[in-house]
Amino acid sequence: MNIKLNDKLHEIAEGTSLANFINSLNVTQQGIAVAINYEVIPKDKWVETILTDNMELMLIHAVSGG
């Protein structure tokens, strides 16, 4: 099964949750947001959000400063 994250294809197993996928990327979860098909998914929903074939995800890193 394939999904697209920030315009890059990733092959994942069927039934993979958003939480497991983000963990597999080895990125810190502090200061990030994830949108699926342009809808931000709250972190407390990542475990129950199951990814499906051809989903488009966007990983957004918050930055501070002005």
pLDDT at 63: 74
Query: Tens-digit pLDDT profile for the chain (66 aa)?
Result: 999 999 999 999 999 999 999 999 998 888 899 999 899 999 999 999 999 999 999 999 877 765
Residue 51 maps to a domain: yes
Structural domains counted in the chain: 1
Domain region containing 6: 2-61
Reduce the secondary structure of the chain to three states and give it as a string: CEEEECCEEEECCCCCEHHHHHHHCCCCCCCEEEEECCEEECHHHCCCCECCCCCEEEEEECCCCC
CATH number at residue 26: 3.10.20.30
Structural domain contains residue 26: yes
Structure confidence at residue 28 (pLDDT): 83
- pLDDT for res 30: 86
What's the confidence (pLDDT) of residue 65? 67
Q: What is the pTM of this model?
A: 0.89
Question: Does residue 66 form part of some domain?
Answer: no
